[in-house]
Structures are given as structure tokens and as C-alpha cells.
Structure 1
């Protein structure tokens, strides 16, 4: 019986496709999309198999709504993320994934999430208080420091002290490495992941991981020996969670989920915030309209009021549309014969919705290369047309937290500081590990402290 045919795609060697994907990902996606349409097959991402990329909303709906028994992600789909661990929600499949997702959902409930507002605000003010009028700074580094501190305090529940400082230093070393092209090569080509001691790049990463694990397990052990039901950090809530059989998460599960939340919630949010500050200050009309909305808040605004500001929400959404930090949703493996968008797929085939190409469809987003927040005020987009956090049973569990954190940081900064870009020319994204990020030379300068709303958020979360 002849092998079934996957959707059309480039015919050049898989290695050449991967190398081009590594260096020019957006050019690859746009070229292939123009040539082959909104469903095509290419060698991109992690693993040896080609991936069928989909940017057709109807087909994406079929992917997201197909029963995981027939189409699932995780380890079965070749996702074996180093550092994160095999007990992570990202790596799990089937019933194990369903169990873990159910355990992790309560800490990210909307009302619970709002309790972290004070932490977000304090960390933002702590970092931005170091800015000096007239001195350019890397906005991305500043946002990383804020989001990293939020993770350590709101998720890990760590207070200032030796363990906080040690973990901060180790994790900063680990995560800063994601900016290098070599780190992306290590992730895209697993055969390079060899531990030859501290003289090898992978060996240094593994030693760093061992030191991080030692601190995390020590924190978990202390929590188990001295339980405190009054704690509201996400680690404490995860430790208190029980599955349907009354069983808690193991230490390994807790460790892997903590690292997952760190990796997924630190780098991505900092990158999205960097893009937001770029667009807000690159386009004066966007900045003025947003500041006018913030000036209506008055003193001590309710957190829900901030979260629901219409133009702030539109700016946030357009930021994640035009350059989504993740170009693709999690890849899924076909587990049983099925049809999607008229194509027949067999077990072993890999499918992935392409977030970037979907967000740049002319029929959905006219002039897709233009930053236009108004498009989100003029119409509603379905979860198959706008999907910065993925979808289906793999939709990012921390989505609401990320939305709240990003909006609150923007409001806290813009209400106090008047900022300007150091360069007026348009800025294009570069690959940073597996993400789309602003270039390394992106700088902003604080020109003055805004006279109005300086204290607008001072007691909002007390």
C-alpha cells in the first residue's frame, strides 16, 4: 500500500530547511505560506519529522477540538523539553496531562490571580526606581528583572534572603543563555545535547540545572516539614492540591511545574512587554490615546478596572498579534487516522497550528504588518483566529496571569514615567532561543516623571 501524501511543502533537504528556520524563521514562514497556502509541510521545530503547519482558522478549530485520544501533544508528539522535565504539563499526554492540568488550574483562577497585584506593582516600582532621567536603558532587561522577581515571589513564594539570591543568580545564568543562537541550535538538534563536563556547553547547563534543583527541592522539603495554610503563593497552592484519588503532587512533579511556569512565564512576558513599549512609543497616536485612557483612572483604581480598560486591552492584544513570541502552537501527533481540512493523516504525522501566519492573514487582519489596536475594538476574533496562547487542551494555563501582569506593569510604568525611543527607525524581530524578540540594541530613555497619576496605583492592592 503506498504511503499517504502529506500537504505540499518545500523539497530541499531537511537539514537545509532547519538551518534556514533557525536563522530566518519569519522569512521561511511567509515564503512557504505564499507558495503553498495555509496548510503546508516543512522541517521546522524540534525533532526529525516534518511538521504540517496550519494557518486556516477552520482547520485550527478541527485541531483544537479533536479528542486527545486521536491527536495529542506532549512527549508522544516529540516534545521532550530539556530543563523543564518529563513531569511538566508541557511534556505529559493523555490522562496524566488531564490530571495535572486539573491540579494546576485553581492557583490561576481569576480572583486568586488578582491577589498577586501588589507583588507585581512592588517589583515594577523597585526596578523602575533605578532609572535615571536621560540615561538610556535596555527595556527588555528591565522587564526581565520585573517578571523574574514576580515569578520568584508569586510562584515560588520566596522572600528576600540567601536562597532567593542564589536561585535568582542561577536562574538568571540559565535563562540569559536563551538569547544566543547556539542555545537555539542545541534545542533544535538534540544530538548535540551531550554532557562532557564543564568544558562543554551542555555540560555547563546540566551542572547549572543540578544546582537549581538542589535549591528547589530544599524549599519543597521545608514547606512539607513546616506547612503554613496561610500562604497564597502558587507553590503552596500546588502542594495543597489533591487529585480525584486524594493524592498530592510528588516533589518531582512540583519541581517540573515550577520550572515550567518560570520558563513559560518569565521570558515570554518580558519579551511581550518589550514589544508593547516599542509600539506605544514608536507610534505617537497610540501612546497619546493610551495615556488619555490611563488619566481617567483616578486614584486607587480597582484591579478589575485596569484589567478591563478597552484601549489598554486592544494594545495588549495587538502586541501579541503582530509578533507573537511563540510562532507555533504546541505540535500534536496523530494517534489514530483522521481528516483535517480534507487531508488524510495517519498515526505518527505531526501537526501544528502556526500562530504567526494566522495572525497575519489579510482576510482577518487587513494590513497585518501595521500595528493597529483599533482592530480589536472594531470586532471580536474567535479563539481559532487569535491564538497567542495556543488552544484546545494545550492552551497556556497561565494566560490570565500573563494578561494581568502585563497590563499592570504597563499601567504602573506609563502612569509615572515619560519615555522615548533612542532610535526612530522601525524595529524588526530577531530569534532569541525559540522566541521572537526585539533586537539586543533596543533602548528607551526616561525623559521625565509624569506629574499626573504618579501615585495612581500606590494603594490599589493594599
Structure 2
């Protein structure tokens, strides 16, 4: 490193201890460093480079609008290769990333997306209809909803043995990867040892192989069937063409399907679980939501529900206060760049911190308080509020995820009062690469008397 380069201040903490804190205390890791060193700090890495955290809007704008030849993002996500494969959108850079993104974008917007509205509402009703009067693992219910939505909207599967098999294998793999032991394995390479299907990492690879077999069988079956009017995202991906007229290969389809599965299912389930927690924790929010929903009358169109301002604000505040991904995708400096006055050399890892950006006092007064009204009072820039990342790496399913979140939340709240037995505040915990509510959080559901909006026995 030459004298021309300069970096933000750096804490003196052994790399191993720092990484342990990052894995097991992810929010304290950020808050403690930010309190000691401000909103920009650097962390030395074993290879002699540095990881630099930024959270101020000026830095976010510089990072998210930087030339793609200056910052790479795909290489920074190699930790996910074992799951999503080499052809995943999130692992690609340059022209290939741009082409793949262009190919995948259409199904997630406009009329295509809205066509899934009734399906989302029906799935939310079907799952909640099974709720009894006992304790409810609300996260498991939200996972069941979001997985069913993905399997229907993306895979075109609504019933049958393959649907049941995929649901079982995916749920098993997700739960396993998200356990504390496997969460640590994602960040400590020496734990990724395959000692057979009974070893932790071997179990991961075994489950992934079973899911791969089911997906490849589905792709082959879909290629030979005569129904050309399917609207599921897999069928739309298969009919899409690159600029040279070529179609996506089976391997590319598999990798993008796995990406959509694990990026779009787990994250939305976590966000919905948090939303239900906050609605219970602050009853006045539930009352405002019910009034807004009741004003639409019986069985409103999904499109009208998705436009409700307070419902939208509740979803946005949920994603602000505890973003599921606490950082956007890392960027790796390819050509030296200046960010917020710091000259960063080639090889530097840049981390746009979503969590710290969402907790800036000057942008969000009283940032630790859940206040949906802040999103009704002003519009935040994409450099102040970016729960889905930013720039050319912003989540391709952003609109679909928000649409699904609003419809599921509205469907459940209009039919049930969902509340926790233990009213003590909960704190986020690591779940794989994300943060979420503690796995064992229990709630009870009481059906609502539609006329009086009061809970009655289920």
C-alpha cells in the first residue's frame, strides 16, 4: 500500500475474535465498532487487504453509482457458491451479470407480478386455516407461506409428489444451514468438511443433491410438455432469450432457481415474522392497520391492498429497524477509488452497512423506536433506505417481496389477532447469512369477529 492510500480507523482486535463476534453477535459487532470509530471503519484481513464499512448517504451514493469496472460484487459472494452455483446472478459480474439480470427482470414487475396476487392471498389463508388454539411457531408458518408462494409462482407447482418432496427437502436444508453450527460453517472454511451424509457439512451437500435432482427433473419435464401458456417464472425464464437468440441452459436455470428459492423465501418469512411481532408489541399499529383494511370492504382486490399507505409504511419500517440482510452485497475494489475522502486501493472490500444506515439519528430520529409514520412524513432516498441493497446489485425480486409481504400481512391481520405469550422484547439473532427473530418465538392466534373486530375463539 502506498502513501497515496488512506483508510478509516481500525480497531485492534484479533481477527478470530472479531469473526466470532460477527457470527454470534452481528448487531453488537456493528454497533460497538460504530460507537468507537464512527460510521466508517476498516478491518484488516488475513490476506493483507482491508474490509471497510460505510453507512452515510454520500458514501452509499458513491458506491451504488460507481462504474462496474471499478467495483466487483460477484466475487464477494463466493460464500454462497455451494448453494446457488456458478451461474447465479449474485455471483456474476460485468456483461454476463447485466445480460442475466436483463433476462430475469420482466417476470418480477407489472402485470406478471400482479397475476400472483390471488395465489398469495389464498396460500396465506390455507396456512392460517390450520392454526389451532395452542402455541404457534409463527416463523414456521411464515416459512410455509413463503415457500408455497415460491413453489407456485416460480416453479409452477401447486400440488403433487414433486411439490411435497421439494418442500420437505428445501425446508430441511434451510433449517440445517440456519442452525448456529452451520451458520458458523459459512464463515469458517475449516468446518466445511464432508465426512459423509451423517456429518454436518456432508448433510448439507446430500440435501442439496436431492434438491438438484428434483429441479433438473422438473426442467426436463417442462421442456417436453405442450402447455405453452404457463405464467410461472421458470416457464418465463425458459422462453426468454439472450441477445444472440440463445436460451438459458439447464445449469443456468437450476442456479437461478436456487437463488430465487433461498433469497426470496427465507428473507420474506423473516420480514413477515418481524412485522407480526411489531404489530403485537405496539397494539395501536394493529388498530390503524385494521381500520385501513376495513375501509376497503370485504374481499378487496390484491392490487388495492398493496397500495394502502399505512400497510406499506409498516412493511418499510419493519425492514428498516431490523433489516434481514444487515449489509448489502460487498464490493471489491478492482481499480483504486475514492469514497467519502478515503483513497481505497485495489483489493479492498467495501461493505455498505444497511443496519447502520437505517439507524442514523440524523436520518431517522429515535432510530431504535418502531415508527411507521416516518415513512408517511417523508420520502427517503435509495442511499438512506435500502433494505434490498442498491445500485446494479439491488435485489431483482424487490417489488415481488414487498407485494407478497403486504398481501400476507393483510390477509392474516384481517382474520386473526396474533399475539405472543411472552411479551418481553426480542433481539435479532443470526440465521445463516441473515438476522431474524429467535427460532423458538411462540404466538397464539385468535380469529376476529368481522363485525366488531374483536378476537373470538378459533
TM bin (shorter chain): over 0.9
Query: How far apart are 1:36 and its partner, in Å?
Result: 1.0
Aligned equivalents of 2:361, 2:272: Cα separation in 1: 25
Asked whether 1:281 is paired with 2:293, we answer no
Aligned equivalents of 1:105, 1:448: Cα separation in 2: 38
Query: How far apart are 1:440 and its partner, in Å?
Result: 2.4
Query: How far apart are 1:414 and its partner, in Å?
Result: 0.8
Query: How far apart are 1:6 and its partner, in Å?
Result: 2.6
Provide the secondary structure at the position in 1 that maps to 2:362: coil
**2:111: which partner in 1?**
111
Q: 1:289 to 1:92 in 2, by over 3 A?
A: same
Provide the secondary structure at the position in 2 that maps to 1:140: helix
Higher mean Cα deviation, 158-167 or 83-92?
Answer: 158-167
Does the aligned pair in 1 maintain the 2:137–2:440 contact within 8 Å? Answer: yes
Segments of structure 2 that go 5 or more residues without pairing to the other structure are 454-458
Aligned equivalents of 1:121, 1:335: Cα separation in 2: 45
Aligned equivalents of 2:371, 2:207: Cα separation in 1: 42
Aligned pairs for 1:295-310 (under 5 A) are: 295-310=294-309
Per-residue CA deviations over 1:78-106 (Å, capped at 9, x if unaligned) read 55532111100011111110010000001
Does the aligned pair in 2 maintain the 1:307–1:404 contact within 8 Å? Answer: yes
Does the aligned pair in 2 maintain the 1:57–1:358 contact within 8 Å? Answer: yes
Does the aligned pair in 1 maintain the 2:41–2:54 contact within 8 Å? Answer: yes
Query: How far apart are 1:317 and its partner, in Å?
Result: 0.4
Query: How far apart are 1:242 and its partner, in Å?
Result: 0.5
Query: How far apart are 1:196 and its partner, in Å?
Result: 2.2
Aligned equivalents of 2:338, 2:378: Cα separation in 1: 31
Does the aligned pair in 2 maintain the 1:47–1:78 contact within 8 Å? Answer: no
Query: How far apart are 1:183 and its partner, in Å?
Result: 1.2
Aligned equivalents of 1:354, 1:237: Cα separation in 2: 34
Query: How far apart are 1:386 and its partner, in Å?
Result: 0.2
Does the aligned pair in 2 maintain the 1:415–1:453 contact within 8 Å? Answer: no
Aligned-residue CA RMSD (Å) = 1.8
Provide the secondary structure at the position in 2 that maps to 1:229: coil
Q: 1:5 to 1:79 in 2, by over 3 A?
A: farther
Aligned equivalents of 1:6, 1:190: Cα separation in 2: 27
Asked whether 1:63 is paired with 2:63, we answer yes
Per-residue CA deviations over 1:124-166 (Å, capped at 9, x if unaligned) read 111101112x312011110000001111111111131111111
**2:219: which partner in 1?**
220
Aligned pairs for 1:249-260 (under 5 A) are: 249-260=248-259
Aligned equivalents of 1:401, 1:68: Cα separation in 2: 26
Provide the secondary structure at the position in 2 that maps to 1:197: coil
Query: How far apart are 1:77 and its partner, in Å?
Result: 6.4
Provide the secondary structure at the position in 1 that maps to 2:310: helix
Per-residue CA deviations over 1:57-82 (Å, capped at 9, x if unaligned) read 11010000001111120026655532
Aligned equivalents of 2:331, 2:324: Cα separation in 1: 19
Q: 1:2 to 1:43 in 2, by over 3 A?
A: closer
Aligned pairs for 1:326-405 (under 5 A) are: 326-405=325-404
TM-score (norm 2): 0.95
Higher mean Cα deviation, 221-230 or 375-384?
Answer: 221-230
Provide the secondary structure at the position in 2 that maps to 1:440: coil
Does the aligned pair in 1 maintain the 2:77–2:329 contact within 8 Å? Answer: no
Aligned equivalents of 1:27, 1:186: Cα separation in 2: 20
Query: How far apart are 1:453 and its partner, in Å?
Result: 10
Does the aligned pair in 2 maintain the 1:77–1:331 contact within 8 Å? Answer: yes
Segments of structure 1 that go 5 or more residues without pairing to the other structure are 455-462
Query: How far apart are 1:452 and its partner, in Å?
Result: 4.1
**1:192: which partner in 2?**
191
Query: How far apart are 1:49 and its partner, in Å?
Result: 5.5
**2:150: which partner in 1?**
151
Asked whether 1:17 is paired with 2:14, we answer no
TM-score (norm 1): 0.94
Asked whether 1:425 is paired with 2:428, we answer no
Higher mean Cα deviation, 204-213 or 385-394?
Answer: 204-213
Aligned residues: 452
**2:43: which partner in 1?**
42
Aligned pairs for 1:236-255 (under 5 A) are: 236-255=235-254
Does the aligned pair in 1 maintain the 2:120–2:149 contact within 8 Å? Answer: yes
Q: 1:304 to 1:453 in 2, by over 3 A?
A: farther
**2:73: which partner in 1?**
73
**1:95: which partner in 2?**
95
Query: How far apart are 1:447 and its partner, in Å?
Result: 2.4
Q: 1:310 to 1:76 in 2, by over 3 A?
A: closer
Aligned equivalents of 2:359, 2:332: Cα separation in 1: 25
Does the aligned pair in 2 maintain the 1:152–1:164 contact within 8 Å? Answer: yes
